[in-house]
């Protein structure tokens, strides 16, 4: 078994939420951050993260557009995507190809359980 922590790509612009995610997930995962939908697409191809956590409200390409593109590309379609947002848009996220949907605010246990489930 590898001792290397899985990498999670987080698309989140709010600095407070970024810090909160680092506090909750940093002991178990390596985190890298994206500011826009285009950044997510580029970083997903470059780093091949274990999971992507994505806000729906992203600049350039929103989370729904970004997720659809991720799920169309052979090199990224296998990466689980968690929508983590304030929008009540679960149906829309799932239609875009999301593997899980969590509403803000951050609930540490729920987030960790969702990630663990998707990594199995």
Q: Any idea where the domains of the chain sit in the sequence?
A: 7-119
**Which tokens belong to 32?**
């890298």
Q: What is the pTM of this model?
A: 0.95
Topology at the third CATH level for domain 7-119: Rossmann fold (3.40.50)
pLDDT range class, residue 94, cuts 50, 70, 90: very high
Residue 1, pLDDT above cutoff 80? no
Buried b (16+ CB within 10 A) or exposed e, 17-37: beebbeebbeeebebebbebb
């Amino acid at each position: 078994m590898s001792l290397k922590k899985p990498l999670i790509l987080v698309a989140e612009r709010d600095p407070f939420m970024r810090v909160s995610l680092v506090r909750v997930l940093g002991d178990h995962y390596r985190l890298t951050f994206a500011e826009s939908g285009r950044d997510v697409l580029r970083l997903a191809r470059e780093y091949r993260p274990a999971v992507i956590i994505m806000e729906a409200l992203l600049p350039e390409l929103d989370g729904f557009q970004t997720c659809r593109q991720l799920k169309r590309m052979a090199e990224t379609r296998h990466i689980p995507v968690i929508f983590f947002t304030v929008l009540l848009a679960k149906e829309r996220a799932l239609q875009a190809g999301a593997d899980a949907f969590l509403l803000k605010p951050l609930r540490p246990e729920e987030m960790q359980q969702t990630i663990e489930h998707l990594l199995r």
